[in-house]
With several copies, the nearest count.
Chain A
Amino acid sequence: MKLDLLTALFVFMLAAFLGLDIIRRVSRLLHTPLMSLTNAISSIAVIGAIIIAGEAHDTLSTVLGALAVFASTTNLVSGYLITDRMLRMFKRREAPKS
């Protein structure tokens, strides 16, 4: 699906404004999990990698693609797992044991 430069910039502009507003409202308590959550989200790069690895057009691109898939899957998995791990701790605050 074609996406011309100006539309792409338009999307970028909107998303950037949205990001700034959202992050400013993130609770100070959660800045560490926030960092790992954004890591996890940035592993969205995987969708670019998948296509290149899957096209298997030539060895070079396949190898590069596969490496990229590997790298971003690592981020994806570890990012979400560790964020979840941290947030669970906060979640349990609801009913403090003491």
Chain B
Amino acid sequence: MTPETIAEICYLAAAPCFILALRWMSQPDTARRSVAAGVTGMILAVGGTLLHPEIVTYKWIAIAAAAGIALGIPLARVPLTAVPERTGLSQAFGGFAAGLVGIAKYYLWLGEGQLTSFRMAVIALEVILGCLTATGGLMAAGKLAEKITTRPVTYAGQNIVSFVLLTLAIGLGGWLVVDPAQSWAFPIIIGLALIFGVLLILPIGGADMPTVISFLNSYAGLSAVAMGFVLENKLLIAAGALDGASGFVLSIIMCKAMNRSVTNVLFGAFGSVQTAAKVAEQRTVKSATATDAAELLTNADSVVIIPGYGMAVAQAQHRVRDLYDQLTKRGVDVKFAVHPVAGRMPGHMNVLLAEADIPYDRLVEMDDINPEMPQVSVALVIGANDVVNPAARTDEKSPIYGMPIIDADKSHTVLAIKRSMNPGFAGIDNELYYANNTLMLFGDAKQVIGDVVKAVTGEGGH
């Protein structure tokens, strides 16, 4: 058996590993296996590849891999709140790698005169996808880490400009297919793709980055597919397609849960109105102390905790866990209502709560909890805003109108923890905070919940 054949066999064995890795994500108890399966797949794939006779030296591979590991390990240690940035960065790296391979292949084949028009076409595809994912991912990461302004940067005719750039890049690619002699055009394609990536993200508000990131996820997947076409490698195509699909499906889920169209997310410059709210400051809100809150919570028979982005910012999940323990110990039935787009990533809240050891069978999905809300004694809103904004149900003109929300307002009493009356991601005011059955607990979520827990244990006394 030639090394190529052995490699092919490894690839054949690797593909099902990746498929199983993803299938096992269908439920938490099988999910642990996913990583093992994925890693096995990688080992097979890399192992098989290293056998390729074309490889004359392992030196550069080893050095580069070592560097990659050196950077990879710390990147995996980031706090969970930084996961979105990390993801964006990783999209960028993925696109970057695909782009570089494409570029290298182009010049190799150009030199050896083996640049068939088919190869040229797929290389152009790979390079364009790779480069725009690279810069796009970096931009997204930057915005999420708030290193770059999270405001949508808009200017007249910007969509036209981006569009022209992209068509130009594709056009040049097409030209190279027809007339490969024009190799001077290739670097231009690269440049255009890189710039396009930046322009694609600039006009998008920071809070839309999670959605953008999962779009980039599918681009990264597709550039891997393109690489597969270039290198005639089935495994690259299959694995790339799986990623592409994943990113695609996740973005759709997010858009649905925000009741926004894909185009609105990508070109809507959402959140540019971040200041529209303030006006309402004047109106009076009832605010309460930690002791009042403790009182209410301990005497309630059922409490639904609705966490939001604020809990993530404040890193309050462990305190929330303490509160959960104290209340359940006192026979209060505590549930967590998790909105699909609460926080800044899909499943954001679930991970944080899981990190704080809150049993996942206490997490209830929006559609299951809403019917129960009217019977709930206390809804404790922790740094959530848009996902509990009744305007989504009532106010036709609201930018979030039609977005499914958790009906906190329908519970007997609402306790809302936030630092100020500032709006959330959607930049709009929230009637909930002015409602008669709502008590505000102003302050940093971590701080406030800490106090409440103290008050509770103080009372409950032990």
Contacts and interface: CB of A to CB of B under 8 A. Distances in A.
A27 B61 CA distance: 37
Given A72-B97, A76-B42, A6 B49 contact: no
Given A52-B104, A56-B56, A61-B104, A37 B35 contact: yes
Nearest to A17: B19
Contact of B365 (A28, A33, A71, A85): A28
Interface in B342-396: 345-348, 350-351, 354-355, 357-361, 363, 365
Given A50-B46, A78-B76, A31 B347 contact: yes
A84 B64 CA distance: 24
Q: How large is the interface on B (under 10, 10 to 19, 20 to 34, 35 or more residues)?
A: 35 or more
Interface in B218-270: 220-221, 223-225, 227-250, 253
Contact of A38 (B46, B98, B243): B243
Contacts of A71: 68, 93-94, 96-97, 100
Nearest to A91: B32
Contacts of A73: 64-65, 67-69, 72
B75 A78 contact: yes
Contacts, number: 404
A88 to B, nearest CB: 7
Given A11-B241, A25-B26, A72-B97, 17 more contacts: A1-B232, A5-B118, A7-B234, A10-B234, A13-B16, A15-B237, A18-B19, A18-B241, A22-B245, A35-B87, A36-B83, A40-B42, A42-B94, A44-B18, A45-B224, A48-B101, A54-B54
Interface of B: 4-5, 8-9, 11-12, 15-16, 18-19, 21-23, 25-29, 31-32, 34-35, 38-39, 41-42, 45-46, 48-50, 52, 54-61, 63-65, 67-69, 71-73, 75-76, 78, 80, 83, 86-87, 90-91, 93-94, 96-98, 100-101, 103-105, 107-108, 111, 118, 213-214, 217, 220-221, 223-225, 227-250, 253, 324-325, 328, 338, 340, 345-348, 350-351, 354-355, 357-361, 363, 365
